[in-house]
Amino acid sequence: MPWCLDFFTGASSLGQLSSPRFPRFINGPHPGGAATPWGGRTASNTNPYHLPNVPNTGMTRSYAWTITNTTLAPDGVSLPLLVVNGQFPGPLIEANWGDWIEVAVTNGLEIEGTALHWHGFLQTSTPYFDGVPGVSQCPIAPGKTFTYRFRAELYGTSWWHSHYSSQLVNGLTGPIIVHGPASDNDYDIDVGPVMLSDWFHDYYVNLVEDIFFATETCDPHCPPMSNNMVCSFPRCVKS
């Protein structure tokens, strides 16, 4: 059975009673006085994968993030983590369908590069902001800032994560909400995304080494096994 925690995640409120409740959309223009920022487009009458169907909202949602080393204990065991703005899970990105998203990422890590990937975004005309080091960009060097800018061409719930080595294992992840047409609005309260992940009581560099050198006899390394399943809502850990 899960047991619940209300501490050890830094500045993040995700999964707590104090976490925000989410509306159907956030502030922005409503074309022609429509009820929503995406006008008359619905989940049934509009193909979001057809680029001309994407609303042109004229809005940019801007974020300023700093990635740092810290120590937190999401499941009660203190670990060296990599976090954005002191939070685990990392900050939420929230936008309306058709908005542009701009994230200025400063690498405050002591000795590591980094890069962030925005899972599920098509990156039409912006492949260089996909966040895959060695493919679409160079890693962000310590002390440097790189600004990602891309469009919310699709809508729904997704997540962002570090794409540098396996940094995501030690905390560099967070939720994304792009508000858009819904096929079913029959709910009372939107409590936001659920972040669920395997959790290891070790630093990702050691885990990568375990993976590459693992054998059935654990000589020289055993395959890594997760110590817990950590979820952000309700704040709980399966033990």
Mean pLDDT of 44-56: 94
pLDDT digit string, tens, across residues 83-120: 999 999 999 999 999 999 999 999 999 899 999 999 99
Mean pLDDT of 189-215: 86
Can you give the residue ranges of every domain in the chain?
Answer: 21-186
Do residues 142 and 110 touch, judged by C-beta distance below 8 A? yes
**Tell me, what's the pLDDT at 69?**
95
CA angle 230, 146, 94 (to 5 degrees): 50
Q: Which residue has the tokens 């309260």?
A: 189
Q: Which residue has the tokens 């790189």?
A: 146
CA distance 84 to 146: 14
Model confidence at 38: pLDDT above 90: yes
Model confidence at 29: pLDDT above 80: yes
**Tell me, what's the pLDDT at 129?**
96
- 21-186 falls under which CATH superfamily? Cupredoxins -  blue copper proteins (2.60.40.420)
Model confidence at 233: pLDDT above 60: no
Mean pLDDT of 128-153: 96
pTM: 0.87
